[in-house]
Amino acid sequence: MTPVTIVATGVANTASVSTSLRRCGASVQITDDPAQVRDAEALVLPGVGSFAAGMERLRERGLDVPIIERIGEGRPMLAICLGLQLLFEGSDESPGVAGLGVIPGVIRRFDPSVRTPQFGWSRVEAGTGCAVLDSGDAYFANSYRVGEPPQGWVAATSEHGARFVAALERGPVVACQFHPELSGSWGLALLTRWLALVPAKEATPC
């Protein structure tokens, strides 16, 4: 089984994420220990709720630095919903609150002309170069979005009033605005492809 560590952000319901990962063949632990976050073979950063609350929790527990380091090193990580947004420099939701800043840009609110928040299923179109991301239907629950794919990442897009970034990937680092754990068999297939990128642990010699 692939060992996966889920960050206990305090602003996420981790039960459905844990269940889906186990269905895909992973063993799961949940932690807010910075050392375990740093050393995890594969890490999941989930999140539901406000940008400010999410960042406060990460900084309060000293989880921000190991997450930033992991992404810089290109180690396996999956960010979900608010988890994706926390990777950016900031958000319209919480002016003045700095994000993790590993991806340039600011998260913007959907245009007032469309229903906000966006709840439900929307089509995702994977761009050229995607290995983990695939086209299909995903479940979203968000009021804020990334408008354009940042440089150095490949992206999948969706539409709610206008095109926006549904997910990003760079090697084994994947960030989804949608909830793969709530997106049926398509979401489970995505989780399985991500888990396949986690290096197999070498056996300890006798």
pTM of structure: 0.94
In a domain, 7, yes or no: yes
Residue 206 has pLDDT above 70, yes or no: no
The answer as to whether 201 is a domain residue is: no
pLDDT (tens digit per residue) in 171-202: 999 999 999 999 999 999 999 999 999 987 75
Query: For residue 85, what are the domain limits?
Result: 2-195
Two tokens, residue 204? 């300890």
In a domain, 190, yes or no: yes
Asked if the structure places residue 203 within a domain, the reply is no
Which amino acids are annotated catalytic? 81, 179, 181
Q: What is the CATH number of the domain that holds 184?
A: 3.40.50.880
Average pLDDT, the chain: 94
Residue 204: predicted pLDDT: 45
Q: Which two three-digit tokens encode residue 54?
A: 């999410």
What is the model's pLDDT at position 13?
A: 75
CA pair distance 11, 56, nearest whole angstrom: 10
**Per the domain annotation, does 206 fall within a domain?**
no
Structural domain includes residue 204:
no
The answer as to whether 205 is a domain residue is: no
Number of domains present in the structure of the chain: 1
Which DSSP category does 13 fall into? -
Other CB atoms within 10 A of residue 112 CB:
7
Within a domain: residue 75?
yes
Q: Is 44 helix (H, G, I), strand (E, B) or coil?
A: strand
The model's pLDDT over 124-173, given as tens digits with 9 standing for 90+, comes to 999 999 999 999 999 999 999 999 999 999 999 999 999 999 999 999 99
Averaged pLDDT for residues 44-58: 92
